Structure 1
């Protein structure tokens, strides 16, 4: 029987295999964490879902206040966080802002967690 002292000394372990592939580089992990942080708010997740569900593929900020029961300033703040994280695009029409989902941004998050590491 191998003792923990012998395992530490030889660097061998009978129960654990070496982990290979699938790990993120530190810089990539920091970038991904900031994107997940932007999505880590229930209101922001609801906003993404609401915008994605629109037939025209976009939503005016004025249409999002009432369903969320939040002020326009609060909704605008959450939309800006999602915009800055790259999940939404914004088009200005007069005084109104229309937001659309960036599907590639969500796909990139999924791929980053499932693709083998290239580093």
Structure 2
């Protein structure tokens, strides 16, 4: 079953811009300037979304001079994927056995 940490991750990934950022970071480490160019988002808006992703543990930062690079943490995404896979297998098993709680 999903834990509260998993729901926090889902909430962080549910925003379309944050999901786009994560998708971009899946292929390479990027700085904020790159992400602004790729997404078309304003710097302030993008920084707020990156903060949410960082606080959720989905991305990590690497300072490089006056720039900050962002890198996706694949272990966090894999953990979320395993939780969702477990949820799907549980639902599949419940359907197979016709598990249904009677109404009062």
Provide the C-alpha distance between the structure 1 equivalents of 2:39 and 2:84, rounded to a whole number of angstroms.
Answer: 30
1:112 match: 83
User: Out of 37, 41, 47, which is 2:21 matched to?
Assistant: 47
Provide the C-alpha distance between the structure 1 equivalents of 2:85 and 2:39, rounded to a whole number of angstroms.
Answer: 33
2:99 match: none
- TM-score, structure 2 normalization: 0.76
Q: CA deviation at 1:113?
A: 2.4
User: Out of 13, 35, 43, which is 1:64 matched to?
Assistant: 35
Alpha-carbon RMSD across the aligned residues, in angstroms, is 1.7
Q: CA deviation at 1:85?
A: 0.8
Q: CA deviation at 1:29?
A: 2.6
Q: CA deviation at 1:86?
A: 1.0
Aligned ranges 1:1-119 → 2 under 5 Å: 24=1, 29-54=3-28, 58-115=29-86
- TM-score, structure 1 normalization: 0.67
| Structure with more helix by fraction | 2
User: Structure 1: which 4+ aligned runs deviate by more than 3 Å?
Assistant: none
User: Quick check: which has more Rg, 1 or 2?
Assistant: 1
1:6 match: none
The count of corresponding residues between Structure 1 and Structure 2 is: 88
Q: CA deviation at 1:70?
A: 1.4
Provide the C-alpha distance between the structure 1 equivalents of 2:85 and 2:17, rounded to a whole number of angstroms.
Answer: 26
